[in-house]
Amino acid sequence: MKKIAVMTSGGDAPGMNAGIRAVTRTALQKGLEVVGIYRGYQGMIEGDFIPLDRFRVSNIIQRGGTFLKTARSEEFRTVEGRAKAAAHLKKEGIEALVVIGGDGSFRGAAALHAEHGIQVVGCPGTIDNDLYGTDYTIGYDTAVNTAVQAIDQIRDTADSHNRLFFVEVMGRDAGFIALRTGLASGAESVLVPETTTYIDELITKLEEGRKLKKASAIIIVAEGDDEGGALDIAKKVNEKFDAWETKVTVLGHIQRGGSPTAFDRILASRMGNSAVEALLKGSTNVMIGQRNNEMVEVPFTQASKHHETLNPHLLELVEILS
């Protein structure tokens, strides 16, 4: 193997730049040439490539987003689109690829391997933490820290006015961001898609809080919750409970940006490094995961099929401590 490519795909996540840097510098150190692919699979289809040297990845470890840009490409979902993409890779002499992205990106990589024999290894890059086989994905820790900081600020104003806040966090159909954010911000309750949400139970809890003369209440709602988003849930609660004035905040894309935490930079650096080592020893169709602080290889088929379960003890802890 002489030349590899690296790309970012799907939703951006803080730490992706640190991952690109780690892939590039590890590969160069092993005597490989490295090419960056702009705009995910769409850039691959269009042959939008840039040679990477050690200086091209200087001064990016601390930057959010991804300097290679990212995209969601409908064309890559087609056999024809993938054939165009593979033709560009072959013309450039690229034999192997590191994809930093989520479950969808790994499905795309698996198709590229099946149809065109390109060797593919993935690094989990998504704020949602919704991949099986890794304790953490790149960007998750930063997103949680961003959300916690925002909720600390909401708590100041909620307390001053004695209000009830519903704060919606991202996570698509997973509740990881919501759970960790709720624990760290001392939320009264966390509503996640993985467990059934009972509006009546929530109201009982809020009433108990009123009786205890709590100054405010903050409920964290995962965007994919089974009872709907924060606005829907606030409405349902308000139909039966209006003792507190109620406000809704949707944190949205601020959770995706910002400088990555030290945790995410280190995770991305280790994963990028392991991805190149995996390619060199001939692995393909695997994601690099972190398990008990060790780097491991997880087949794409497992990684993208489902995600880890939420820790029920942590869900319980939110209730115990609130």
Ligand X SMILES: Nc1ncnc2c1ncn2[C@@H]1O[C@H](COP(=O)(O)OP(=O)(O)O)[C@@H](O)[C@H]1O
Site of interaction with ligand FBP (CB under 6 A): 10-11, 102, 126-128, 170-172, 223, 256
Catalytic residue among 128, 130, 225, 264, which? Answer: 128
Query: With b meaning 16 or more CB within 10 Å and e meaning fewer, what string describes 29-62?
Result: eeebbbbbbbbbbbbbbbebbeebeeeebeebbe
Largest separation between any pair of C-alpha atoms in the chain: 71
- Find which of ligand X, ligand FBP, Mg ion, none residue 256 binds, CB within 5 to 8 Å per kind: ligand FBP
Smallest distance, ligand X to C-beta of residue 265, A: 20
Amino acid at 63: R
- The answer to whether 128 is a known catalytic residue is yes
Residues annotated as binding site for ADP? 21-25, 155, 186-188, 214-216
CA angle 120, 121, 127 (to 5 degrees): 130
Question: Does 9 sit near ligand X (CB under 6 A)?
Answer: yes
Question: Does 107 sit near ligand X (CB under 6 A)?
Answer: yes
- Find which of ligand X, Mg ion, ligand FBP, none residue 43 binds, CB within 5 to 8 Å per kind: none
3-state DSSP percent of the chain in helix, strand and coil, to 5: 45, 20, 35
Q: Give dist(CA 89, CA 95) in Å, integer.
A: 7
For residue 22, the SS3 value is helix
Smallest distance, Mg ion to C-beta of residue 232, A: 23
Q: Which of 8, 24, 26, 105 binds ligand X (CB under 6 A)?
A: 105
- Find which of ligand FBP, ligand X, Mg ion, none residue 64 binds, CB within 5 to 8 Å per kind: none
Smallest distance, Mg ion to C-beta of residue 304, A: 8
Q: Give dist(CA 181, CA 148) in Å, integer.
A: 6
Q: Which of 19, 108, 133, 171 binds ligand X (CB under 6 A)?
A: 108
Q: Give dist(CA 113, CA 74) in Å, integer.
A: 18
Decide if 270 contacts 137 (C-beta within 8 A).
Answer: no
Smallest distance, ligand X to C-beta of residue 294, A: 24
Contacts with ligand X, residue ranges (CB under 6 A):
9-11, 41, 72-73, 76-77, 101-105, 107-108, 111, 126
> Which residues are designated catalytic?
128
